[in-house]
Chains A and B, each alone.
Chain A
């Protein structure tokens, strides 16, 4: 049964008296790359630690490969975890870091050497086998941590903010690296991130979390194009979110008639979806800033602030001027709550 390889059932997690995750049900498929996305404090890291066995749930069950592992200690679960800080062992060389888990399994020396060398090769660190982690760059440390987990052939690999400690160029390298490893090994990967771009780029499916609950679950394009709640929309870059009453947009005690029909309670537009210089609404330009390929506007309208972008070449308008704009039906997202 490929559908729920990792299964969290009625999981409730707490630190002392603080309930972080009240009740979570989640199924993860075999071989998928799934992202737990959300702001800090949403319970994503806690959930990951529970899967790893680093914290015991208050109630509920965790199943991995059809086996209930809720009571199995972390060191016997067969799960890999790449820590945000990498948690490499500073007193051991790169080789010994990777060999650590194998030595505990009492494998023969030649077997260990063979496997470690193969993985160091895979992540491109073969030439640095004798180096200590502190003498390696961030990207190398990241790949070493990856090799150290993967050499044990875990059933599931967990990654905590895998790209957050890397600079922009290395992020791309690492993203490709993770996708390649996933493709080659077919391992199930669960990673935690607060960065929507990272989740969208890397994951097959995204679990958006808020206050310990799943806010929305779906493929990246589903989440990006059709968030269902104000929280999801806001988190995924819809900067203009308004309430709708009787076919009018209401905000700040004012109302503007809508130019199209909707049954939704809330509507959201990305800045790029707002049309400028034409339309039936008016607002005053509060700020204009040049951001490379586009120009970003903040417009003070009766219903509140509107954020809009246009191609940089257009519209050299000044702060304080009155500008017309429209919130069109193209590019609108209807939210249920």
Chain B
């Protein structure tokens, strides 16, 4: 048997399975008809245009965007020092701390949303937006710590010692030597966090209120009411956005090293 041919076949089939559905979505969104079908009924851009005119999509898009940006920034502010402590210090209880920080990964999002709603929003009068923001920060934190840690582990520790011996303080060594050298790791963490947060659904299932809905939840709601191709068009547009971000990141940072 020709191994090269077999290997190409396996890769092609897998890629078709993984990416094919997406091409279909893109095309389905181009349909001129009023219902989702494939192959599409004629071609038009009307659904792609309609997406921008739906008020609720616009609002939920901005909410998702803000959550993703500020949640991730917050996660980095908490996560970078934690990652630094874990990789460079003789840290007491380091296993416990690592477990706590990593825990949100295995807690199903739906439970997080429900728990925050029931114990923070209702009794303590947190706003839904604040609860969402906290949930997203906590969910992104493990990724931030992991990516920044791996970046720090690739940076030799003796560089900070060298800086200290040349007269730097501990903080100065971090700002002048460490940070510039893990910049691409931090950026990678930001992008990974942003995408994770932006695409996050289950957390917001319970954490939505009047005027406070994230984009994926809004899309789910829209789908339940109408079966027109605008959700397909929107999905395709979001996919392009994600792909563009990742493409640029990969081009400049070699992003896939950190995933």
Q: Does B10 contact A (CB under 8 A)?
A: no
For residue B99, give the distance in angstroms from its CB to the closest CB of chain A.
21
Q: Does A101 contact B (CB under 8 A)?
A: yes
* Residue from the set A74, A75, A152 with the largest chain B CB neighbour count within 10 Å: A75
Contact of B177 among A80, A83, A89, A152 (CB under 8 A): A89
B167 near A16 (CB under 8 angstroms)? no
Q: Does A233 contact B (CB under 8 A)?
A: no
Chain B interface residue count, Cβ-Cβ cutoff 8 angstroms: 18
A89 near B165 (CB under 8 angstroms)? no
A79 near B165 (CB under 8 angstroms)? yes
B167 near A101 (CB under 8 angstroms)? yes
> In whole angstroms, what is the CA distance A53 to B169 when docked?
13
Q: A16-B90, A91-B181 are in contact. Are A104 and B166 (CB under 8 A)?
A: yes
**Nearest-CB residue, chain A, relative to B180:** A91
Q: Does A100 contact B (CB under 8 A)?
A: yes
Q: Does B212 contact A (CB under 8 A)?
A: no
Q: Does B120 contact A (CB under 8 A)?
A: no
Q: Does A54 contact B (CB under 8 A)?
A: yes
Q: Does B95 contact A (CB under 8 A)?
A: no
- List A residues 53-80 near B (Cβ within 8 Å): 53-54, 73-76, 79-80
Q: A16-B90, A104-B172 are in contact. Are A89 and B159 (CB under 8 A)?
A: yes
Q: Which residues of A contact B176 (CB under 8 A)?
A: 100
For residue B88, give the distance in angstroms from its CB to the closest CB of chain A.
13
For residue B213, give the distance in angstroms from its CB to the closest CB of chain A.
43
B161 near A75 (CB under 8 angstroms)? no
**Nearest-CB residue, chain B, relative to A152:** B166
Can you list 19 contacts pairing A with B, beta carbon distance less than 8 Å? A16-B90, A73-B164, A74-B165, A75-B165, A75-B166, A75-B167, A75-B169, A87-B158, A87-B159, A87-B162, A88-B159, A88-B162, A89-B162, A90-B181, A100-B163, A100-B166, A101-B166, A104-B167, A104-B172
A-B CB proximity, top 6 nearest: A101-B166, A87-B162, A87-B158, A104-B167, A91-B180, A87-B159
